[in-house]
Amino acid sequence: MRQAVESARMGWGLCTVAGVAGKGETLEIVPRFLITGRRVAGSSFGGVKGRDQVPQLVERWLAGEIDVESFVSHRLTLAEVNRGFELMEAQDGIRSVISFS
């Protein structure tokens, strides 16, 4: 992340950090990079508005327009929910799906 900020163009460069940082991970920025016009933004959903756009994405998935299966890393049952927390703690369960059936 630090290298991405440093590589942003002086004067108008924008570094967008997408996703979720690891547990305890921090971003150290030299103030000079911000003073010279670089900007840093964050995005956990790629700029998607959860309330409005997530239902639209679900509709597109149900219609077969987009494939999300390739993004699923683990499938768990409700009885395995504690395993899901273990995966999340190990930074391996970000894209887990828990089935309630």
Q: Where are the domains of the chain?
A: 1-66, 68-101
Tens digit of each residue's pLDDT (9 = 90 or more) over 47-96: 788 888 989 999 999 999 999 888 899 999 999 999 999 998 888 877 88
pTM: 0.49
Among candidate residues 37, 46, 43, 39, the one with its CA nearest the CA of residue 17:
43
Lowest mean pLDDT among 8-12, 37-41, 87-91: 87-91
Burial class (CB in 10 A: 0-12, 13-18, 19+), 101: exposed
CA distances from 13 to 6, 43, 48, 88 (A): 10, 16, 22, 33
As a whole number of angstroms, the distance between CA 64 and CA 14 comes to: 34
